[in-house]
Amino acid sequence: MPLLTGRADIDVVNWTEDRRCDRAWLLQNIPGASGLVVCFQDIVDREVVDVGGPNLRVVSTISVGYEHIDLDVMAERKIQVGYTPDILTDAVADSAVMLALMATRAAGQSYTFVKNNQWPSFNWTPFAFCGPQLSTTSFSPTRTVGFLGFGRIAHAVLARLAAFGITHCIYTPRPGAPPQTARDAHLQSKHNLTEVAPVDLPTLARRSDVLFVLAPGGPATHHLIDSAFLRQMKPSSVLVNNGRGSVVDSIALAQALKEGWIWGAGLDVVDEEAIPGGVTAEHPLVCEPRCVVLPHIGSAAQETREEMARLTARNVIAGVLGEELPVALDYSRLGSQV
């Protein structure tokens, strides 16, 4: 980060290896620090803050999520938290649509088929590798997309799906959120949809042809997508998770795929990814042919990651210098991403 390392007024101690930062290294080097830059894999808890000492003024994370940061401790110690919303909205929306297409059109299965040198012996049949079609047609004129989490990224996904002829959009609002009637009417008109409407979780499960999970993590959303939810979904439906792995029960989803409760899944996040080595080739979802699993790369577009890095650097610099952060987390609006 030249924005940081090029400054003469700030001493930078940098983890230089291209892998997750060792916690022991972090605890050894944080004492006396005024600012801390982290990724979503780095847990910032009371231990880190206590070892860091009273000079710590700001934690800047190169992510839109903040579940890895103990916000109660941050508020208690009056430590500012910088993060990177908005910047990654389009990149994540792109990847969500990509995962929906990969899951519906059996891209994982067919790519593996070719990689395993099975194409030379392939006997073409009319329905080989077929899956549900994302777009509408004259002979299949309606599609309902559902959203668990209907914030910035969901709106960007909906805008992209409009080109596929999506007709209905349903979503489950954040508990306690006021009705958004005017906003929904605007989205319905803007994208030429038949419906944009809030629904309860059972209705979301029953009606969605493609369900996009874009909710934040945390206790309130833990395993909202469980066996009971998945059993209500259509056998032809697809689940896409670009939000947080903890929202979906991995074991339940693997069973749903194996037993045909749903057609397929496209995942950029998995519950067990928070555990080092938690997602291996033997993970039940990786083993499911109709499940496409990516290693949490939803924002991994070069231009997006570069801008995220720049904002992360600007946030920590401002905090270290005692200035207002360009983009600071407002503790009073927790959960507003949903």
Question: What tokens appear for 235 in the block?
Answer: 């056998």
Q: Dihedral through CA 235, CA 236, CA 242, CA 247, nearest 10?
A: -10
Sorted by sequence, the CB contacts under 8 Å of residue 206 that are 6+ apart come out as 232, 233, 234
Q: Active site includes 168?
A: no
Residue whose entry in the numeric block shows the structure tokens 């808890």: 45
Catalytic residue among 68, 191, 283, 296: 296
> Measured between alpha carbons, how far is 20 from 39 in angstroms, rounded to an integer?
8
Residue ranges of E strands in the chain? 35-38, 58-61, 80-82, 144-148, 168-172, 195-198, 210-213, 238-241, 264-267, 291-293
> Measured between alpha carbons, how far is 244 from 8 in angstroms, rounded to an integer?
38
In total, the chain counts a number of residues equal to 338
Cβ 254 vs Cβ 240: under 8 Å? no
Q: Cβ–Cβ contacts within 10 Å for residue 218, how many? A: 15
69: exposed, middle or buried (C-beta count within 10 Å: 0-12, 13-18, 19+)? buried
> Measured between alpha carbons, how far is 109 from 300 in angstroms, rounded to an integer?
23
Residue whose entry in the numeric block shows the structure tokens 């954040």: 174
> Measured between alpha carbons, how far is 37 from 241 in angstroms, rounded to an integer?
26
Residue ranges of E strands in 206-323? 210-213, 238-241, 264-267, 291-293
Which residues does the annotation mark as catalytic?
Answer: 296
